[in-house]
Every structure is written in structure tokens, then in C-alpha cells.
């Protein structure tokens, strides 16, 4: 894992943008797995600024949503769908043929996971996966547990996830989550994880210990051959 220490969130975001743009230049039809939440927001805004200058660069980009809060309408402003539509999909002009995602309120969650698995099988693997570090060490909605699921699956949300800022903004509260599995994430050709915030100091220290455990799903990234970790200095200094 390549770890780069940055002085602030803006520096992390600019580095992330440069990495993403660099990968798109290498492979115009890049399959980008996009996380939602505060960590990648500024990097996405910088991507949109890049699109406004060079729209043709993004004309073949494909995007898959990393995870979703479920049991709520997809147009709820707190869903991952609403976030990605606002920050990436619409601003980058990504059509339905270049975007696939979990429904936030599917009739059959298991069939929805099967649908996403089939899309990954035909469109994947993911070329570049964007991640953040959860307060309890989760990746996407792969929560700490005795074992982790490899493929798209339904997950029970922990208290840490239910206290996420996105949920606090929701009109209705999610009852479960749908997420890509650890196998999907680790099968990505390249992974970029953005970590900032001194409120995560404890879990960051555990992550940086390099001890791999299912009770800290992010630790599995130490097993991947091409991970770049962009981390805020405030998160590691005492």
C-alpha cells in the first residue's frame, strides 16, 4: 500500500482528482466504483471542473455505485443515489448505459444483488475503486463481523453506520443496506482510499497497524497489490 500524508482535506482531494483523471486518460472507458459521503466530495467537485474543460475525456467513463442505504425511496436526499446523481452522474453527463447501481428500495433485495453481480460479471472488473474509511473500520457497507461476504449482498447496519451524517439528513431511515462485497472490492485493479478527520484517529491507528481482521474490514486492503491511501495528517498525529 502506498500511503501519502497530506496537510489538509483540500490537498487530499486534489491528489485524488489527479489520480482519477490520470487513470481515465490511460483507459477512457474506465469502470469507476464510486463511494458517497464526505470524504470524496471535493475530489468529485474537482472532477466536474475538469469535465467542464475537457468533456470529451469523460465520454466513455463508466460508473458503478459502491453501496446504498435501503428501505427508502431513491429520491430521498440522503440516499447514495441522490448524492452520486448530484455530484457525479448528472454533472459528468453519465447516461444510463454507463451507470449501474443498487436500487434503494427493491422488491427483492437478493434479486437486486444478483442483478448487480451480473452487471459486474459483464462490465467488470472495476478499474478504480474509490473508498472511505468508516468510523468502525467498515468498507462500503461491509460491516465488522466474524466473516465477510465476497459479492453483492444485503447487510445489517451497525449503530456506527446508522449514525452516519447522510442518515441524519434522511426523511425516512434505512432498514438495511446493499453493498458490493469484499471480493468485488479486492478484485478492483486499483484502489484509492481517502481518509480525513481527527475523529477517526482511533480507527486509523488500527488500520495502519497492518493487522488483517474481519472485524476491521478495511484492513483487507493490505492484501491488495495496488492501493493508494491519501490520509490527513490530523488523523495520525497525536
Catalytic residue selected from 11, 45, 103, 136: 136
Residue 138 annotated as catalytic: yes
Q: Which residue has 472511505 as its cell numbers?
A: 132
**Any catalytic annotation for residue 136?**
yes
Contact assessment for residue 179 and residue 152, using Cβ atoms and an 8 Å cutoff = yes
Phi, psi dihedrals of residue 50, rounded to the nearest 5°: -65, -40
Catalytic residue, chosen from 68, 76, 127, 143, is 143
Q: Which of 67, 68, 127, 184 is catalytic?
A: 67
Q: Which of 138, 153, 164, 196 is catalytic?
A: 138
> Residues with Cβ < 8 Å from 95, sequence gap 6 or more?
none
Q: Residue 143 catalytic?
A: yes
Catalytic positions are 67, 136, 138, 143
Amino acid at each position: 500500500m502506498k500511503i501519502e500524508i497530506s496537510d489538509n482535506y483540500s490537498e487530499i482531494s486534489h491528489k485524488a482528482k489527479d489520480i482519477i483523471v490520470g487513470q481515465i486518460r490511460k483507459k477512457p472507458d474506465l469502470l469507476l466504483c464510486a463511494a458517497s459521503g464526505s470524504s470524496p466530495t471535493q475530489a468529485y467537485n474537482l472532477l466536474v471542473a475538469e469535465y467542464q474543460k475537457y468533456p470529451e475525456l469523460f465520454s466513455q467513463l463508466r460508473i458503478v455505485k459502491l453501496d446504498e442505504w435501503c428501505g427508502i425511496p431513491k429520491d430521498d436526499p440522503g440516499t447514495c443515489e441522490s448524492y452520486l446523481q448530484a455530484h457525479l452522474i448528472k454533472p459528468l453527463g453519465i447516461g444510463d448505459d454507463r451507470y449501474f447501481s443498487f436500487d434503494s428500495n427493491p422488491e427483492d433485495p437478493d434479486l437486486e444483488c444478483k442483478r448487480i453481480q451480473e452487471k459486474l460479471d459483464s462490465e467488470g472488473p472495476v478499474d478504480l475503486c474509490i473508498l472511505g474509511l468508516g468510523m468502525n473500520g467498515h468498507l462500503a457497507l461491509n460491516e465488522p463481523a466474524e466473516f465477510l461476504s465476497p459479492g453483492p449482498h444485503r447487510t445489517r447496519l451497525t449503530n456506527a453506520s446508522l449514525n452516519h451524517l447522510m442518515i441524519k439528513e434522511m426523511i425516512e431511515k434505512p432498514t438495511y443496506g446493499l453493498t458490493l462485497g469484499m471480493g468485488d472490492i479486492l478484485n478492483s485493479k486499483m484502489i484509492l482510499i481517502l481518509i480525513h478527520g481527527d475523529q477517526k484517529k482511533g480507527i486509523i491507528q488500527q488500520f495502519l497497524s497492518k493487522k488483517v481482521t474481519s472485524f476491521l474490514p478495511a484492513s483487507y486492503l493490505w492484501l491488495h497489490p495496488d492501493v493508494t491511501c491519501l490520509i490527513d495528517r490530523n488523523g495520525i498525529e497525536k
